[in-house]
A and B are shown apart, each in its own frame.
Chain A
Amino acid sequence: MERKHYEQEINMTESLMTRINELLSHYPEDKKKSALLPVLHEVQDAHDNWLSIALMDKVAEILGILPIEVYEVATFYTMYNLKPIGKYMFEFCQTSCCCLRGTEDLMDYTCEKLGVGIGETTADGLFEVRGVECLGACGYAPMMQLGDFYKEHLTKEKIDQIIADCRDNKIILHDK
């Protein structure tokens, strides 16, 4: 398999480090590794929503663990992205309960509208459509996750609106 190398500018800002240190304080002094998952979330959010090898190495250094301990975790959990992704990632829940309420048709509609297939990023790097497994919103289907938030009871009209809002920079992705 061909592996493409992606460069990423690493910027451990003061506010990011403050947050990381706060997370570290939630665990015993000798159990820093426990903070790995929450720290990876924070670091990823601050770096265009993906983790390069160099960034993971940086996390390993901060937690005092081996780089491999970070890689094996980052590859196991689906929420960590290991390559650059679209700024607005539409993650549709495609598990049964949502499908009963028309998710598949809605995903087709969204892909067609954006001119991409599932798992692809638009040429401008703005959008990406993904199918993910149960997000725990079965009663509010169809739905998708966008950043830290859920968009529920979706319709074609709502999708149109969300896409327009993304283009107008009106969507908040993270609650910081």
Chain B
Amino acid sequence: MSKKILLDKINVPGIKTYEVYRREGGYASVEKAMKSMTPDEVVEEVKKSGLRGRGGAGFPAGMKWSFIDKKSGKPRHLVCNADESEPGTFKDRYLMEFIPHLLIEGMITSSFALGANRSYIYIRGEYMWVFKILERAIAEAKAAGWLGKNILGTGYDLELHVHCGAGAYICGEETALIESLEGKRGNPRIKPPFPAVSGLWANPTVVNNVETIAAVPWIVNNSGDDYAKIGIGRSTGTKLISASGHVKNPGVYEIELGLSVDEFMNSDEYLGGMSSNRPLKALVPGGSSVPILPADLIFKTANGEDRLMTYESLSDGGFATGSMLGSGGFIVYDDTACIVRNTWNFSRFYHHESCGQCTPCREGTGWLEKVLWRIENGQGREEDIDLLWSIQSKIEGNTICPLGDAASWPVAAAIRHFREEFEYHVRFPERIKDRNHFVAEPFDKVRHLVSKQTV
């Protein structure tokens, strides 16, 4: 059994309630931090832990905290990013729904470390029932004296509220999230200034993912060094993985970073293999934005080493032969899935979610969607494949926020690894008329047609 630090109590009956959570040792990190540590000592422990941002970027959390401007004397804020919207990712929802007080405890301890007296949890509007769960949990914590004025008699005040979005993927980008929290459209801001200097209401602000903040209580209760002992190298601690697609046991799993992809995919403790015992075709290991991997690069890297669930191993080989751990949205495809259709679907998503601020993204995501749609529907041309490559390369790196990159990478990776499948669509339009074209006849059965016919 792998070590669990976020979900170790998840099966305790009633853990959703304050009473049970407290009885099981909850809120100990608040007591420990406020009574026996200085805020800077808490930051130091988080730095030592090597904890990396769990939203997708993997930036060291302690370092992010240390950037917050404490000199200006302006009010500081901690904002929890619970705008979970990356396709393939549903871990934060699980954590908030089933053990909400862990997040509240993490918010209090982390706000103390940052010297923030007003903090928010920004949750996506679709998670409305979770919003209500968090509101009630905050009220319980407040009634028990963990929030409000002069907490534990230390003189430290904290107001914590939950704020809901209204359906915009872009608000998961931290500056768009801040705009949205200010009651505006979710248009990302140009950085610098970074939120640590000028964030919510132009005050110094730290934005962290739910899972990142939920790891803080364990780090404070034990130590940063203890946390760093879990995992491998710079991938310390545990990670929640959301598994979906063609696997036997989809769902949310807490793994120790360093577990092999093979074990995670195939052991009964985790995903239990493919759902209908069909061959594995592809994997998106970290949410829709990260490059898709073909079957031969999933369990082994290009160098023949075992592929591990770590930031480093999943990105081994760069984008040529690797991918990213990202948000841990683990999407598995069997041979009935069509990579062209899947890529079109993702492109439609990014086009829909582009905020429209930067031309390359606003226009480019629409072009990607349209060109992919015509290929998928038998109206593609041979040169469309290079056209797609050209469009994605002109979006990447040319936008204010990473949504442009996120829209480009899946297209680039699909062409890189599955070019023949695009060629098949273009050359045999009559064979792909039905949207489930690979269900009856997987691509492996017809691949020979592509190599026989060249342009």
| Residues of A participating in the B interface, judged by any CB pair closer than 8 Å | 26-28, 31, 33-38, 40-41, 63, 65, 69, 72-73, 76-80, 94-97, 99-101, 104, 132-141, 145, 148-150, 174-175
| CA A73 to CA B167, docked complex, whole Å | 11
**Contact status A28-B201, CB under 8 Å:** yes
How far apart are B255's CB and chain A's nearest CB, in angstroms?
15
Residue B64 interfacial (CB < 8 Å): no
Most chain-B Cβ atoms within 10 A of its Cβ — which of A28, A69, A79? A79
Check A41/B124 contact, CB under 8 A, given A133-B349, A138-B90: no
Q: Which residues of B contact A38 (CB under 8 A)?
A: 163-164
Q: Which residues of B contact A175 (CB under 8 A)?
A: 128-129, 132
Q: Which residues of B contact A135 (CB under 8 A)?
A: 126
| CA A65 to CA B355, docked complex, whole Å | 23
| CA A37 to CA B183, docked complex, whole Å | 6
A-B contact pairs, 15 of them (CB 8 A): A26-B159, A40-B166, A41-B128, A76-B355, A95-B346, A97-B245, A99-B342, A104-B435, A136-B84, A136-B93, A136-B126, A137-B93, A138-B245, A138-B329, A175-B129
Determine which of B164, B242, B250 lies in contact with A37 in the assembled complex, contact meaning CB atoms within 8 Å: B164
| CA A175 to CA B134, docked complex, whole Å | 13
Residue B381 interfacial (CB < 8 Å): no
Tell me the residues in window 217-232 of chain B with beta carbons closer than 8 Å to chain A beta carbons.
none
**Contact status B245-A26, CB under 8 Å:** no
Residue B168 interfacial (CB < 8 Å): yes
**Contact status B90-A139, CB under 8 Å:** yes
How far apart are B53's CB and chain A's nearest CB, in angstroms?
18
Q: Which residues of B contact A94 (CB under 8 A)?
A: 345
**Contact status B331-A97, CB under 8 Å:** yes
| CA A73 to CA B126, docked complex, whole Å | 16
Check A77/B167 contact, CB under 8 A, given A96-B331, A139-B90: yes
| CA A138 to CA B342, docked complex, whole Å | 14
How far apart are A33's CB and chain B's nearest CB, in angstroms?
4
Q: Which residues of A contact B168 (CB under 8 A)?
A: 76-78
Q: Which residues of A contact B251 (CB under 8 A)?
A: 139
Determine which of A34, A63, A134, A138 lies in contact with B349 in the assembled complex, contact meaning CB atoms within 8 Å: A134
How far apart are B394's CB and chain A's nearest CB, in angstroms?
24
Check A139/B353 contact, CB under 8 A, given A78-B167, A100-B337: no
Residue B377 interfacial (CB < 8 Å): no
**Contact status B128-A134, CB under 8 Å:** no
**Contact status A139-B186, CB under 8 Å:** no
Determine which of B118, B127, B250, B331 lies in contact with A140 in the assembled complex, contact meaning CB atoms within 8 Å: B250
**Contact status A79-B90, CB under 8 Å:** no
| CA A135 to CA B87, docked complex, whole Å | 8
**Contact status B85-A136, CB under 8 Å:** yes
Q: Which residues of B contact A101 (CB under 8 A)?
A: 245
**Contact status B181-A41, CB under 8 Å:** no
Check A136/B183 contact, CB under 8 A, given A40-B166, A96-B331, A148-B129: no
| CA A33 to CA B331, docked complex, whole Å | 39
Q: Which residues of A contact B337 (CB under 8 A)?
A: 100
Determine which of A65, A134, A139 lies in contact with B250 in the assembled complex, contact meaning CB atoms within 8 Å: A139
Q: Which residues of A contact B88 (CB under 8 A)?
A: 96-97, 134, 138
Residue B246 interfacial (CB < 8 Å): yes
| CA A79 to CA B169, docked complex, whole Å | 12
